Chains A and B, each alone.
Chain A
Amino acid sequence: MTAREGVAVLQRAARWLAAGAGAALLGLLVIPVAAVCFDLTPAQLWAGLRAPVAAQALALSLISTGVTLAVLLLAGTPLAYWLGTREFRGKRVVETLVELPVAVPPAVVGVGLLLAFGRNGPLGRALEARDVTLAFTLAAVVLAELVVAAPHYVRAAQQSFAAVDPRLRLVARSLGASPAVAFRRVTLPLALRGLVTGAALAWARALGEFGATLVFAGNMPGRTQTMPLAVYTAMESDLSAALALSALLAAVGFTVLVVAKALAARGMPHA
């Protein structure tokens, strides 16, 4: 075998190795979810889903994540735009602060929220004085989901805005467009795909949020028990019910993500 043939063999082997590793990782991601979904018979699945706790938990999850997403889009988009298009001193610090919740265990986030907004916390006491309670309410669920999901959206949105060629906006402005129109007609459509992907990821993270919710919002069926909490609670009594809820959660998450990606692809501006 010549040196060239030897190198070609090695290169092919390396490609197979890389493909194998990638496939293995993908399998690792898929197998646990698939195992949950296919462990039950359809009858058991249906029985687990008919329990009132399932409908309550699903409703709470959808409502809370919906509110979380709305807040994220309203408040997170300006922040991401600012970070994506401006340079300033301390920008790296702000970026790190935005990413911080990802590095902190969710339970710690929950404790932090409780210490800050609980009735004994500095902000909580001010709220209690106005008869506003946050802990153990749906508002607490939204706050917890917001903290853990925000980094995913803001970072993705920031990168999307940063990827838009600033000259395009300049051209729009020079042609007479106001900043708002330039944003709406030029920047936004170009950044849209990244924004939607980031929003979908953030929503999915909020949907699966467990640790912070459990500590800050508590676990009350019908009031604060989201799907992940319902799954964890159900595991204490009826594993089949827990698995059914898990399968439902996976199905809902998967469906919404797929739909979001399809919408994002359709919303691409025509070149």
Chain B
Amino acid sequence: MSRARALGRAVRRGLLAVVLAPLLVGCAAATARRGDEVIVFAAASLTEAFNDLAPVFSRAHGGARVTFNFAGSQQLRLQLAQGARADVFVSADEPNMDAAVRAGLVEAPVPVARNRLVLVVPRDNPAGVAGLGDLTGKLRLVMGVRDVPFGRYAHAVLRRAEAAYGPGFARRVLANVVSEEPTVKQALAKVALGEADAAFCYRTDVTAAVAPRVRVLEIPEAFDVAATYPAAVVRDAPHPDLARAWLAFLRSPEARDVLRRHGFETE
């Protein structure tokens, strides 16, 4: 065989190796990593607080890794129902957790935190919203999709507020809705960008990163709803001991301190 042909074949073989190599590396990486780990499926609103709690838990449990999957509670429940590997499920509301219990996906849940809704407006408050009552004016309101926790809670707040603002208040407010967001972070982002005049979100969502761009308006106690966050160990969890340890850790004074620092309420 001529040298040119030999070289050509060598180059082709080299290219083949280059193309196949990522495949092999990917397969190796995709297989489950052994070692101490706890996989936590948690509602998106817990992102910042749980990220702060993870290193504390890790240090107290021999460097065990805490892997998070933050998403909407409904989405997480869906993933669990389809067999996703997880150790703990923390939901942003009780209906989702109850559904998970009924489906036999989790063990008995315990409450670990509470959250309250607040009203946020852009820092310059273009629509001049001072309170719930101003939501009937001409403005762009962003709500949550009715079936996600924060959407459901916001609708409940508006219904309760009819006690003070009269019947039909909720309907008048809802006429101003320009978008129903699937996640609370997206709703908040639209307000932070100044594209929406107001949105409901959890108190805990107004993080240090977002706070400079928004103004928080409290919702009167009488109308506000408290979102309860139940947590449960997933059945057939790959790391049941660490799962229970995480749950116990969430109810410890140290963890409660961190949660409160982020704006949650605890027992």
Question: Which A residues have a C-beta under 8 Å from some C-beta of B?
Answer: 114-115, 118-120, 135-136, 214-215, 217-221, 224, 232-233, 235-237, 239
A219 touches B193 (CB 8 A): no
**How many residue pairs, one in A and one in B, have C-beta atoms under 8 Å apart?**
58
* Set A135, A217, A236: member contacting B147, Cβ < 8 A: A236
Q: Does the CB pair A218–B142 fall under 8 Å?
A: yes
| Interface hits, B140-183 → A, CB 8 Å | 140, 142, 145-148, 177-182
Are B195 and A236 closer than 8 Å at their CB atoms?
no
CA distance A232 to B177 in the complex (A): 19
B72 — nearest CB in chain A belongs to which residue? A236
| Chain B contacts for A214, CB-based, 8 A | 182, 186
**Chain A residues within an 8 Å CB radius of B186:** 214-215
Q: Flag if A118 contacts B179 (CB, 8 Å).
A: no
Q: Are B145 and A219 interface neighbours, CB within 8 A? A: yes
Interface centre among B75, B146, B179, B180 (most CB of A within 10 A): B179
Q: Given A219-B145, A233-B145, are A114 and B195 also a contact pair (CB < 8 Å)?
A: yes
Is there an interface contact between B195 and A119, defined as CB atoms closer than 8 Å? yes
- B194 contacts A by Cβ under 8 Å: yes
Given contacts A215-B186, A236-B182, 10 further A-B contacts (CB under 8 A): A114-B195, A115-B193, A135-B195, A136-B178, A219-B181, A233-B147, A233-B182, A235-B78, A236-B72, A239-B78
Is A136 touching B140 in the complex (CB atoms < 8 A)? Answer: yes
| Alpha-carbon separation in the docked complex, A115 to B147 (Å) | 29
Q: Say yes or no for B45: interface residue by CB 8 A criterion.
A: no
**By the criterion CB–CB under 8 Å, are B145 and A236 in contact?**
yes
Chain B, Cβ-Cβ closest to A238: B147
Chain A residues contacting B181 (CB-CB under 8 Å) are 218-219
Q: How far is the CB of B127 from the nearest CB of chain A, in Å?
A: 12
Give chain A residues whose Cβ lies under 8 Å from the Cβ of B178.
136, 218, 220
10 contacts between A and B (CB under 8 A): A118-B193, A118-B194, A119-B194, A119-B195, A136-B179, A220-B177, A233-B147, A235-B75, A235-B78, A236-B145
Taking CB atoms, residues of chain B closer than 8 Å to A217 are 179
- Least CB distance from A23 to B in Å reads 17
| Residue B74 lies at the interface, judged by CB distance under 8 Å to chain A | yes
Residues of B within 8 A of A118 (CB): 193-195
Closest to A242 in B: B78
User: In the complex the two chains form, what is the Cα distance from A235 to B74 in whole Å?
Assistant: 8
Expressed in whole angstroms, the Cα–Cα distance for A220 and B142 within the complex equals 10
Contact residues of B between 22 and 76, Cβ < 8 Å to A: 72, 74-75
Report how far A214 CA is from B187 CA in the complex, Å: 11
* Residues in A whose Cβ lies below 8 Å from that of B182: 214, 219, 232-233, 236
B135 to nearest A CB, angstroms? 17
Residues of B within 8 A of A232 (CB): 182
Task: Say whether, besides A219-B182, A220-B178, A235-B78, A120 and B193 are in contact (CB < 8 Å).
Answer: yes
Contact for B193 among A114, A218, A221, CB less than 8 A: A114
Query: In the complex, what's the smallest C-beta–C-beta distance from A107 to chain B, in angstroms?
Result: 9
A residues near B72, Cβ cutoff 8 Å: 236
How many angstroms from the CA of A221 to the CA of B78 in the assembled complex? 23
